[in-house]
Chain A
Amino acid sequence: NAGVMQNPRHLVRRRGQEARLRCSPMKGHSHVYWYRQLPEEGLKFMVYLQKENIIDESGMPKERFSAEFPKEGPSILRIQQVVRGDSAAYFCASSPTGEYGYTFGSGTRLTVV
């Protein structure tokens, strides 16, 4: 059981570029959550998805950020026109039922230069 797989582990982007972060949930898990962790802070919820559906995106910034979880393939968190303030660790978690039992991935550390 490979667990929740996130890639890349580290991503460096220049201001104005796009960042794409990928998350493959655990086998059998159809619920995916994205969280952002700014330096020295706790994790903040961004978005909750099931296959092909966004269930709750109340934590997503209104502009430049989008997420999807297609029928086939990993969940993608996309950040357009990145700015320095987007530098953070982005964690994905998955759950089999949408209730407790969340497993976190290793995260993607995004650095915007």
Chain B
Amino acid sequence: ELKVEQNPLFLSMQEGKNYTIYCNYSTTSDRLYWYRQDPGKSLESLFVLLSNGAVKQEGRLMASLDTKARLSTLHITAAVHDLSATYFCAVDRETSGSRLTFGEGTQLTVNP
């Protein structure tokens, strides 16, 4: 069974600081996704990582994928309050019929 683990689950940081969220998964995966969710809202797609060594950046967020280590990271640079949200990673496998398996989520709070 595919398992996805994120850490930390809770992260409180000051504006302007950098931090990294980690996403480990248990078996070979075809694709790795990062989503953002604001309270009471839906999931907003941030990144889709398709291959080993993939790196994508959007604003203050950068995601990377190491398929050999079964690890993805979401790096936050110079955090701002607007980044406060819950961040989920998810993986899917072609052999699992394209269903997503999600991590538990990292609740990020950026303090002014």
Contact = CB atoms under 8 A, between A and B. Distances in A.
Interface residues of A, number: 26
B103 A42 contact: yes
B48 interface: yes
Nearest to B40: A109
A51 to B, nearest CB: 15
Interface in A1-50: 31, 33, 35, 41-45, 48
Chain B: number of interface residues, binned into ranges: 20 to 34
A98 B92 CA distance: 11
Contacts, number: 57
B45 interface: yes
A40 B99 CA distance: 21
B34 interface: no
Contact of A105 (B42, B97, B101, B104): B42
A59 interface: yes
A99 to B, nearest CB: 6
B45 to A, nearest CB: 7
A41 B101 CA distance: 12
B104 A41 contact: yes
A111 interface: no
B97 A48 contact: yes
A104 B46 CA distance: 12
Contacts of A103: 45
B88 interface: yes
B101 A99 contact: no
B83 interface: no
B31 interface: yes
A99 B33 CA distance: 12
Given A42-B88, A43-B88, A48 B99 contact: yes
Interface string B33-62: 101000011110100101000000000000
Interface of A: 31, 33, 35, 41-45, 48, 55-56, 59, 91, 93, 95, 98-107, 109
